[in-house]
Amino acid sequence: MIVRARTVVTMDGAPIEDGAVRIRGNHIVEAGTFSDLEKSPTFSGGQENENNGEAIIDLGESVLLPGLINAHCHLDYTCLRRKIQRSSSFTEWIRAINSEKRKLTAEDYLRSISAGFSEAQRFGTTSVISLEAFPELIARLEPSPIRTWWCAELIDVTTPGEGDEIVCGAVAGLKAVRNDHAGFGLAPHALFTASAGLYRACAEVAVHEKFLLTTHLAESGEEMEMFLTRSGPLFDFLRSIGRSEDDCGGKTPLAVFLDKLRCRPAQESSTGISLGDSSAGWIIAHLNELAETDFDLLSALPEKFSIAHCPRSHAYFGHKPFEFPQLDAMGFNICLGTDSLASNEDLSLFHEMREFRRLHPDLTPERILEMATVNPAKALGVGERLGRLRSGYEADMIAIPFRSGDPYKQIFDFEGDVPWMMVAGKVAKFSRFPLSFSQN
């Protein structure tokens, strides 16, 4: 088929006016002007027809762009929207979310994940990395309507020494799930809830299974206080539930993370595992709290990991400014995510892009859009098949109404539900244009 639009933003050069994308099966054959690709008459209003074996979908006055990729999300917490009041203490938020989770049943979580998928689709997300606190539930779900990298979120805070068993159980559960268009991952939750043994077990298994690796790191000031000074509310809370304090004192969270992997800069661990050994490497969620010494560690890393930044969740917690300029200059692959609805209002990457642009007005819109398309595809290890509209790439696309002027302005001003979506070459969503825009 050919999909035509007023403007096609390929993320592979300048936007194409009166553009089109030719698709065969689930792959893009070519992108260019409609006149170059046209093989049969057009049909307006989103209708399609068959002529000479090739359908034409004319999306009219719209902007066609790659589907958005959410680099960090917890779909199972969709039901926690506005359940937790904002607090100045990250530790109090942990207490509150644990309290809310104790009220939920397996059926609640399943409904929550399904609702999360629906919301992600509404806002133009065609791929998501979802950390799942109860990975055994994934097998009970219908096939994902969008590409989903399911990551088993693993914790051994009160049972250190059982990392191998925990990881083996998670892997067995994940491999029992059919997931044709995406993949799986392991997510040792955070430094304060996952032992060194659990981190190393995840890293070793991920290399063998070609699984994604992701973790929360240096998210809050209280985490920095815990590891650097052996003090603060997070330190006290975790000590009260029996966590070992052996890794606390004198080191930043980043330094402790590198130690837990036995992967210090410019050298491999005794097990031969390095940050770059897995198929997609590590995706580090947050990395908000960095000391000056951490930048020396980061600059010496043999390979740069990816970073998932969640602008509105960041604002919810009142974290200090994200060190984007320095991390970007150092070559880190920075992506956008929504985090969970326990610390956000919705699962819209359009809203995340707008918030990031508000904080970084000198950054071009193209660069910010890359953080929700090209960059997360690279982080997932699929940068050669997702994130752009290019020959040989998979046909994951969305369309929004075009009003006038710069197509990037249309993208950043867009509000509401995305009316048209294609995933793996199949139209997943269609509704009439136009939808409303903000008046920015």
Q: What is the secondary structure of 173-189 as a DSSP string? A: HHHTS--TTSEEEEEE-
- Tell me, what's the pLDDT at 181? 86
Compute how many other C-beta atoms are within 10 angstroms of the C-beta atom of residue 24: 12
Whether cis (ω within 30° of 0) applies to the bond prior to 419 is: no
> What distances in angstroms separate CA 421 from CA 212, 311, 389, 412, one per listed residue?
26, 25, 14, 18
What is the distance between the alpha carbons of residues 128 and 75, in angstroms, rounded to a whole number? 9
Nearest CA to 57 out of 425, 408, 439 is that of: 425
Residue among 324, 349, 325, 350 nearest 337 (CA): 349
pLDDT at residue 432, as a whole number: 59
Chain mean position to CA 151 = 11
Q: What is the DSSP letter of 321?
A: P
* β-sheet bridge partners, residue 48: 57
C-alpha to C-alpha distance for 275 and 268, rounded to whole angstroms:
9
Length, in residues, of the chain? 440
Largest separation between any pair of C-alpha atoms in the chain:
72
Crossing angle of the two packed helices 221-229 and 90-101, in degrees rounded to 10: 110
Residue whose token pair is 């914790």: 155
DSSP 51-71: ETTEEEEE--SEEEEEPEEEE
First to last CA, the chain: 36
Would you state the pLDDT for residue 280? 38
Cis peptide before 321 (omega within 30 of 0): no
Residues 6+ apart with CB under 8 A from 102: none
Cα gap 260→178, rounded to integer Å:
32
Instruction: State the Cα angle at 341 between 339 and 347, rounded to 5°.
Output: 70
Instruction: Report the relative pairing of strands 62-66 and 2-8 from DSSP bridges.
Output: parallel
DSSP for 357-378, please give it: HHH-TTS-HHHHHHTTTHHHHH
Q: What is the C-alpha separation between 180 and 126, in angstroms, rounded?
A: 14
Cα 382 to chain centroid, rounded: 13
DSSP, residue by residue, 234-278: HHHHHHHTT---TT-SSS-HHHHHHHHTT--TTS--TTS--TT-S
pLDDT by 10-residue block (mean), the chain, 440 residues: 96 96 95 84 44 79 97 97 90 96 96 97 97 92 94 92 90 89 95 93 90 96 98 97 94 92 46 39 95 94 92 96 97 97 97 97 96 97 97 97 90 93 90 43
Q: Which whole-number Å values give the CA distances from 375 to 245, 265, 308, in the listed order? A: 36, 23, 10
Identify residue 173 by its one-letter amino acid code. G
**In the numeric block, which tokens belong to residue 279?**
């198929």
Looking up tokens 């010494």 gives: 293
pLDDT for the residue 54: 82
Name the token pair of 195. Answer: 């032992």
- Rounded to whole angstroms, the Cα distance separating 135 from 133 reads 6
